[in-house]
Amino acid sequence: MPRRRPAGDDPTFEPHYDGPERLTELLRQVGSALDAAGAAERFAAAQAQGLDRSDVIPALFEAEPRFGSPEDARRLYENLFALWGRVARGGGAGLPVPEAGAPEPALPRELPELPPRGTADPGPLEPLLVEAVWKQLAELPEKELARRRDRFASSQPDLAAWLDAVTLPEAGALAASDLAFETWAMFDQAFGPRLGTVRWKDLKALGGEPPALESGQPALAAYVADMLDVLEAEDDAFREAERAQVERVIAAVAAAIGAASPARP
């Protein structure tokens, strides 16, 4: 996950597997009837069907999970996301766990290769490009990430100013800012110099009722949903109303950038 701190100054969310016993304990604490092995079986079946983890993880719980603290939510989802990755690589819940006090061996980072900038065909962003861009951003050193953000602000001044002016709840403001930047980065990677400049009046027109993100940019919509699921699990202040506001902002940003993108032939 990119360097986002949705819950105050919490450290960056990072998938990490604490082992089957700890994951089973975390699942049981929030009322799931599954243990770690059962979750791994669900993940394997879902991956065989080509489903996304966002389609599967909510089904692990019979009711909406309730957490004792944001840290409890973070730990559970870090473990579930890490287990999803292990299953995808042919592993399971029962992989060796480090001895007490020893750090868990780092899982290999499989960064998808970015296509050459500016070479995408007009139309919705491809899922592989969406995945590759956010993973590459997550790996950037802080100075390079800051440089990218500066380029975003200088190349899209109306968009940057509109984001500063839009009213958002404190619980979702940072996530909206990060997701808007990442959305631009994905479009910039896809279309490069062919990407036009977003105009304030277009954003203003879209801000009230933008088109659904799923209809125009399904791969981007799936990524945004994943990120907001994590934030919702981490931060008790981020509820349905706050989520809807962030979703509306990102839908407007994507629609405006999409309108500035190369037209379909």
Whether residue 13 lies inside any domain: the answer is no
pLDDT surpasses 90 at 231: no
Whether residue 155 lies inside any domain: the answer is yes
Per-residue DSSP letters for 17-59? ---HHHHHHHHHHTT-S--HHHHHHHHHHHHHTT--HHHHGGG
User: Are residues 189 and 243 part of one domain?
Assistant: yes
User: Are residues 247 and 133 part of one domain?
Assistant: yes
| Upper half-sphere CA count for residue 105 (Cβ side, 13 Å) | 7
User: Are residues 169 and 79 part of one domain?
Assistant: no
pLDDT surpasses 70 at 36: yes
Whether residue 234 lies inside any domain: the answer is yes
pLDDT band for position 71 (cuts 50, 70, 90): low
Q: What pLDDT is recorded for position 160?
A: 94
CA–CA gap between residue 220 and residue 179 (Å, rounded) = 10
Give residue-wise pLDDT tens across range 75-96: 898 889 988 888 888 777 875 5
Tell me which residue of 66, 72, 89 sits closest to 18, measured CA to CA. 72
User: Are residues 135 and 239 part of one domain?
Assistant: yes
Let me know: does 185 contact 133? Beta carbons within 8 Å.
yes
- In the chain, the amino acid numbered 7 is A
User: Are residues 252 and 142 part of one domain?
Assistant: yes
Matching residue, tokens 């861009």:
133
CA–CA gap between residue 190 and residue 133 (Å, rounded) = 10
Whether residue 204 lies inside any domain: the answer is yes
Torsion of CA 202, 208, 212, 216, to 10 degrees: 0
User: Are residues 240 and 176 part of one domain?
Assistant: yes
CA–CA gap between residue 104 and residue 166 (Å, rounded) = 42
Q: What pLDDT is recorded for position 187?
A: 97
pLDDT band for position 101 (cuts 50, 70, 90): very low
Give residue-wise pLDDT tens across range 178-213: 999 999 999 999 999 999 999 999 888 886 789 999
Write phi, then psi, for 167 (nearest 5 degrees): -90, 125
* Number of domains within the chain: 2
Length of the chain: 265
Whether residue 59 lies inside any domain: the answer is yes
Q: What pLDDT is recorded for position 253?
A: 95
Q: What pLDDT is recorded for position 208?
A: 74
Matching residue, tokens 């089973």:
24
Domain span holding position 70: 20-88
pLDDT surpasses 70 at 4: no
| Better-scored residue on pLDDT, 92 or 237 | 237
Q: What pLDDT is recorded for position 248?
A: 93
pLDDT surpasses 80 at 72: no
pLDDT surpasses 70 at 228: yes
Please give the mean pLDDT across all residues of the chain: 83
Give residue-wise pLDDT tens across range 102-127: 444 444 445 667 888 999 999 999 99
Cα 253 to the chain's mean position, in Å?
Answer: 16
CA–CA gap between residue 62 and residue 67 (Å, rounded) = 14
Q: What pLDDT is recorded for position 180?
A: 95
Q: What pLDDT is recorded for position 265?
A: 65
| Better-scored residue on pLDDT, 185 or 171 | 185
CA-angle at 50, arms to 107 and 134, nearest 5°: 50
pLDDT surpasses 80 at 13: no
User: Are residues 252 and 143 part of one domain?
Assistant: yes
Question: Could you give the percent of the chain with pLDDT greater than 70?
Answer: 86
Let me know: does 60 contact 34? Beta carbons within 8 Å.
yes
Residue 6, C-beta contacts closer than 8 angstroms, at least 6 positions apart: 171, 174, 175, 230, 231, 234, 235, 238
Token output for 146: 């800051």
User: Are residues 253 and 144 part of one domain?
Assistant: yes
CA–CA gap between residue 92 and residue 29 (Å, rounded) = 21
Question: Could you give the percent of the chain with pLDDT greater than 90?
Answer: 42
Whether residue 100 lies inside any domain: the answer is no
Q: What pLDDT is recorded for position 112?
A: 67
DSSP code at position 193: G
Give residue-wise pLDDT tens across range 19-33: 888 899 999 888 888
Tell me which residue of 140, 159, 248 sits closest to 199, measured CA to CA. 159
